Amino acid sequence: MYGGGFFIEPGKQEANAVADDPIKLAEFQAKIDRGDKIEAQDWMPADYRKQLIRMIEQHAHSEIMGALPEGTWITRAPNFKRKLALIAKVQDEIGHGQLLYAAAETLGKSREAMINDMLSGKSKYSNVFNYPAKTWADVTVIGFLIDAAAIVNQVINAKGSYGPYCRALERICYEESFHLKQGHDAFIDLATGTPKQRAMLQDALNRWWPPIMHFFGPPDKASIHTEKLMRWKVKLASNDDMRQQFLDSYVPKIQELGLTLPDPNLKKNEATGKWEYTEPDWDLFFRVINGEGPCNKERIDVRAWAEEHGRWVRHALMRKTEKTIIPFA
Amino acid sequence: MEKSLDPRVNRLDLQNAAGQPVAQDENWPTWEVFHQKKRGEHHIHVGIVHAADEQLALLFAKEQYGRRLKCANIWVIKSSNVFSLGYDDEDMFETTPDKIYREATGYKVRDKINAFKKSNKTIV
């Protein structure tokens, strides 16, 4: 589901930049410019590897964490059909996490190290999952709008330069189309329902709008680092461009149902073709991502609990002689 | 701690959730998965699963790669049993498509037949 909100701290990367062999670097760039995909066994700049691991890993954690607020509602879905769809969707999200961990593993970071970094807070996941899904209407807003935002992000990233990540995203995007459709369907059921249902949906929309506006991350700072990631096709569109694309596709779909969004400045400027909006509160974004959100602790604790209590099963099945190697593709 | 919206979460003893970090190799080795869409077609590589043994690898591969679209069969092969050429040697294939004498299109018999018919050659 849930790529997006990757944020890169500039400066820090530039300070740690490793000097790469200039001849190899030129060959690498030529490959990308030709439109060739980079494969796991290819030479790649140290910073390319590092940024991709960081990005794919965040994406994988987001898929797994994203299943938690939705999973809460499986036992309380309003009817059997919605329950089946939600179970299927949550299973897909866990599967997406697996596919993405696999893509990151080809770059040389083990799955165990990624899980540990997430539990310690060193590695992040999408900020939206630090918020609670308070009512069934929240589930429909997540299923429709968060998935839609993730699709915008994933369709763009699928055109990137790293082969294993692109292949994983192609598979993910295919399944996401079902998520979006079932989310939209459930959203419409509430939007066209009783006054109470409509009020419940409007309330959920009001609460989720700030996190949704945060979803693509803060505006990219113009930096050598960002420019390099664009040239390497690690980053393919700026956070603001993706936000624009999302608003352009989905705000009309919300408004056509007679629902409102809690931002009086949100409107499309017909002259520029761009959406104007109140700049989201980025201080809040950073506070939440660094642990102050309403659900950060619960999410991490639940994951830690699962790792801790699943350990005996993993050990019981383990063959001591087996060593993990880096997978091929 | 604040109460969770999820009663299942409230039943867990989250105060003592965290334990040891996950040890290296604890998530089991990887298996490369090959998926056959329908009988008669090739098995195609689709990705990996982590599993303790081949039985578990097949079960996870079925869930991960066979729960959507058609699937007739799945193979799993331990990643450490796959051998591959390096991309560094990719240039050795460069002239392969140029070797026209190995292609059916490299032979233009009709031109020769037409030329022969025009020439009125006879067997002496």
CA dist A192 and A33 (Å) reads: 49
**pLDDT band at residue A32 under the 50/70/90 scheme:** very high
Please state, for a pLDDT cut of 90, what percent of chain A lies above it.
Answer: 87
CA dist A122 and A116 (Å) reads: 9
CA dist A41 and B86 (Å) reads: 7
Residue from A4, A261, A5 nearest A151 by CA = A4
Q: What is the 3-state secondary structure (H, E, C) of chain B?
A: CCCCCCHHHHHCCHHHCCCCCCCCCCCCCEEEEEEECCCCCCCEEEEEEECCCHHHHHHHHHHHHCCCCCCCEEEEEEHHHCCCCCHHHHHHHCCHHHCHHHCHHHCCHHHHHHHHHHHCCCCC
Task: State residue A6's pLDDT score.
Answer: 47
Beta bridge pairs of residue A268: A275
**What is this structure's pTM?**
0.90
pLDDT at residue A3 is higher than 80: no
pLDDT digits (tens, 9 = 90+) for A178-193: 999 999 999 999 999 9
CA distance to partner chain B, nearest, from residue A102 (Å) = 7
Q: Copy the structure tokens of residue B19.
A: 């334990």
CB pairs below 8 Å between A and B: how many?
131
A112 with B23: Cβ contact below 8 A: yes
Task: State residue B66's pLDDT score.
Answer: 93
pLDDT digits (tens, 9 = 90+) for A43-98: 999 999 999 999 999 999 999 999 999 999 999 999 999 999 999 999 999 999 99
Residues sharing a CB contact under 8 Å with residue A249, sequence separation 6 or more, in sequence order: A148, A152
CA dist A318 and A161 (Å) reads: 36
Task: State residue A17's pLDDT score.
Answer: 58
Residues 102-131 of A with CB under 8 A from B: 102, 105, 110-113, 115-116, 119-120
Burial class (CB in 10 A: 0-12, 13-18, 19+), B75: middle
A315 with B25: Cβ contact below 8 A: no
Task: State residue B1's pLDDT score.
Answer: 52
The one-letter amino acid at B94: E
Chain B CB contacts of A28 under 8 Å are none
pLDDT digits (tens, 9 = 90+) for B62-102: 999 999 889 999 999 999 999 988 888 888 999 888 889 99
Which residue among B9, B18, B64 places its CB closest to the CB of A95?
B64
pLDDT at residue B120 is higher than 90: no
Burial class (CB in 10 A: 0-12, 13-18, 19+), A96: buried
CA dist A268 and A274 (Å) reads: 6
Residue of A nearest to B31 (CA): A327
CA–CA distances in Å: residue A273 to residues A79, A137, A219, A262? 41, 31, 18, 21
Q: A221 phi and psi, to 5 degrees?
A: -75, 135
Chain A CB contacts of B9 under 8 Å are 72, 298, 302
Domain boundaries, chain B: 26-119
CA distance to partner chain B, nearest, from residue A265 (Å) = 33
CA distance to partner chain B, nearest, from residue A219 (Å) = 33
Residue A292 touches chain B, beta carbons under 8 Å: no
A324 with B8: Cβ contact below 8 A: no
Give me chain B's average pLDDT, please: 90
B30 with A99: Cβ contact below 8 A: no
Task: State residue A296's pLDDT score.
Answer: 93
Task: Tell me which CATH code domain B26-119 carries.
Answer: 3.10.20.520
Residue A163 touches chain B, beta carbons under 8 Å: no
Beta bridge pairs of residue A287: none
Q: What is the mean pLDDT of residues A278-292?
A: 94
Q: What is the mean pLDDT of residues A260-288?
A: 96
Mutate to test the interface with B, among A298, A309, A320 (most CBs of B within 10 A): A298
CA dist B27 and A127 (Å) reads: 26
Q: Copy the structure tokens of residue A323.
A: 């060593």
**pLDDT band at residue A9 under the 50/70/90 scheme:** very low
pLDDT at residue A1 is higher than 50: no
Residues 181-240 of A with CB under 8 A from B: none
Q: What is the mean pLDDT of residues A287-296?
A: 93
- The fold of the A12-317 domain, in CATH, is Ferritin (1.20.1260)
Chain B CB contacts of A327 under 8 Å are 30, 32, 48, 79
CA dist B97 and B83 (Å) reads: 24
The sign of the dihedral angle between the CA atoms of A109, A115, A119, A123 is: positive
Task: State residue A222's pLDDT score.
Answer: 75
Q: Copy the structure tokens of residue A131.
A: 């918020």
Chain A CB contacts of B49 under 8 Å are 98
Residue A134 touches chain B, beta carbons under 8 Å: yes
Query: What DSSP state is assigned to residue A221?
Result: P
pLDDT at residue A116 is higher than 80: yes
| Element (DSSP H or E) covering residue A93 | helix A80-105
pLDDT at residue A131 is higher than 60: yes
Half-sphere exposure of A22 (CA within 13 A, CB side): 0
Residue A40 sits at the vertex; the CA angle it makes with A34 and A44, to the nearest 5 degrees, is 60
Domain boundaries, chain A: 12-317
Residue from A245, A243, A248 nearest A220 by CA = A243
